[in-house]
Structure 1
Amino acid sequence: METEWLRTFIIAAKTENFRETAERRFITQSTVSKHIQHLEKELQTSLFERHAKHVKLNHLGAHFLRQAEIVVATVDKALQSTQSLKRGFTSQLTIGVAPQIANSTLPAIIENFQHQKPAIQLSIELLKSNEIGEAVYAGAVDIGLSKLKSTRDVHTKILAKEPLQLIVPMGKKCIDPMKLLQQETILTHEYAPYWQEVQRVLQHLPSYKSMQLNQTEAIKNFVRHGLGIAFLPKSVIESAYHEQSLHSYSVNEFSHIVSNTYFLSKYVTADIEAFLANCDAIYKNR
């Protein structure tokens, strides 16, 4: 049984369309048919129901699909690890990271770690903070860098407790921040765990209005264009502050509110401990 047959079958099973499968696999439609026929001959069973020019995955095909995906994933992992070893890597770590962290401290973390541990190959997966704990628990990633604590039973360490900064357009930097909070739209992130605490303080103002965006970079861009203001962790706005594209305040009324960054892992290995130590060092130096 050839792996290429399995790769063709997986796409055909998901699309139930041999023409589309051929396009995705960059092979002819007749080759797709031959791959499926070879599989069915070896398995001694049909995997599809055929009606004129249409095909539909049958129950045996659905069962075989799950097994085929496992086989192909195993083969791909073996190929990747062998190539990594050939290039001088001795081990691998997959990091699941929230976009907010990826756009702020992650580049410094990766650069420093690769300098210290060049034989460890890193893979980065961008995930929402509410997905990272589950990915760590399921073994999909080795390490999670998240803005949310996981509900799963995983090793957890707080890397940082960052004060919030109120960011405003440069053209409004001379306006009193409490006045801005009553005049401007306050932009917030879907997974900002500190937002409820911010709202408690805002309730003491005569009025305020808010709008939810689901990406930190979009929030910063909206603020640059004068479409609102926002509370964000210090590390997230550091580059914009130095570039003078945004202005930030530390507002006394909100000084007790912090944004946590969590390091999550299911297991503790020497490589994971080394990455954790590296993260600690980067956050402490900020």
Structure 2
Amino acid sequence: MELQQMRYVIAIAEERSFTRAAERCFVVQSSLSHQIKALEHELGVVLFARTSRRVELTEAGEAFLAGARASLDAAERAALDAAAATGQIRGNLTIGVIPTVTAIDIPAMLGDFRAAHPAVRIRLRGGGSEQFIAGIAEGSIDVAVLGLPETTIPTNVSTRQLTKERLVAVVNSDHRVASRRRLRLEDIAEETFVDFPEGTPGRAPSDLAFSAAGLTREVMFEAMNTDMILNLVRQGLAVTLLAPAVVPDDPRLISIPVVGGPIRIEYLAWSDFNPSPAAVAFLGLLED
């Protein structure tokens, strides 16, 4: 049994087509079909139920697929570990980045990493902290930057606290409180807010702060990126609460400290369970 045959099985299972699998593997379909028939003969089982229109895994095929994926992962990891032993870092590095990273300069870090390890393929993933924690636990993400309220402690991942900061109120320059040097939550509780979607870690610090103060607020607008949030503030449609570092120098935007305002903690997260050589190298760069 060859590793290439396992790759063919995985490709067919994922594409549900011999034709598309052959294109994906850069082989002619007749060669791929021959290899699958040879593998089925060797194993003594049928891996695929196929007609001219449909291709599906048999029960035996489903069982084989899991082992094939594990074997390929082990083979690829063995090659990466061997290369790393000689100082050559290869493979993939998948990094999860929330929309409000303030503690580290991601582009600069990637520039340094790329210069030191040009053979590593870097993949950036946008999303939320809970999504990244789940991705690290299941192995689809190597490293992530998280932003969480101070009452939420990340679990099932290794973490390092990067920064702890109090959010500021951001208002339009024409807003009634724009000239204030500081605010309390009750000063803006009656305003219309724009914030991250309900239930997301990006919004949780603000929701928790208002709840702890016995206040309610109206979040009329929801957005997943800070550019949209700030544009709505520029238009005078809403106010918001954000980390100071994500608010640009713009005369139309006024940042005001909030006494007793929300506190947000930024973490670097990763898995200590068998991290890839690329992940270890990236974490080492951050330590330096």
Query: Which of 210, 223, 245 is 2:220 aligned to?
Result: 210
TM-score normalised per structure 2? 0.70
The answer on 1:194 being equivalent to 2:205 is yes
- Two-structure CA RMSD over aligned residues (Å): 4.1
Counterpart residue number, 1:15: 15
Counterpart code for 2:256: S
Name the stretch that deviates more: 89-98 or 64-73: 89-98
In 1, Cα distance between the equivalents of 2:251 and 2:9?
Answer: 51
Counterpart residue number, 1:250: 256
Counterpart residue number, 2:161: 158
Counterpart code for 2:64: F
Counterpart residue number, 1:67: 67
Cα displacement (A) at 1:226: 5.6
Cα displacement (A) at 1:229: 3.4
In 1, Cα distance between the equivalents of 2:110 and 2:16?
Answer: 44
Counterpart residue number, 1:281: none
In 2, Cα distance between the equivalents of 1:67 and 1:246?
Answer: 58
Q: What is the number of equivalent residue pairs in this alignment?
A: 267
String of CA shifts for 1:13-56, please: whole Å, max 9, x gaps: 12322233234334433233223212212222110123454322
More helix per residue: 1 or 2? 1
Counterpart code for 1:186: V
Task: Describe the SS at the equivalent of 2:264.
Answer: strand
Cα displacement (A) at 1:274: 4.3
Is there any run of 5+ residues in structure 1 with no aligned partner, and where?
279-286
Please say if residues 194 and 229 of structure 2, whose CA atoms lie closer than 8 Å, have aligned partners that are also in contact: no
Q: 1:175 to 1:246 in 2, by over 3 A?
A: closer
Please say if residues 136 and 143 of structure 2, whose CA atoms lie closer than 8 Å, have aligned partners that are also in contact: yes
Q: 1:48 to 1:184 in 2, by over 3 A?
A: same
Task: Describe the SS at the equivalent of 1:191.
Answer: coil
Is there any run of 5+ residues in structure 2 with no aligned partner, and where?
178-182
Please say if residues 17 and 54 of structure 1, whose CA atoms lie closer than 8 Å, have aligned partners that are also in contact: yes
Q: 1:209 to 1:118 in 2, by over 3 A?
A: closer
In 2, Cα distance between the equivalents of 1:26 and 1:224?
Answer: 51
In 2, Cα distance between the equivalents of 1:28 and 1:119?
Answer: 35
String of CA shifts for 1:158-196, please: whole Å, max 9, x gaps: 22111212334xxx3132248887454423243222031
String of CA shifts for 1:182-237, please: whole Å, max 9, x gaps: 454423243222031344389757x7443332334443454456654321112333
String of CA shifts for 1:76-95, please: whole Å, max 9, x gaps: 33445556677x54699956
Name the stretch that deviates more: 157-166 or 25-34: 25-34
In 1, Cα distance between the equivalents of 2:165 and 2:266?
Answer: 8
Q: 1:28 to 1:267 in 2, by over 3 A?
A: closer
Q: Identity rate of aligned residues, in percent?
A: 19
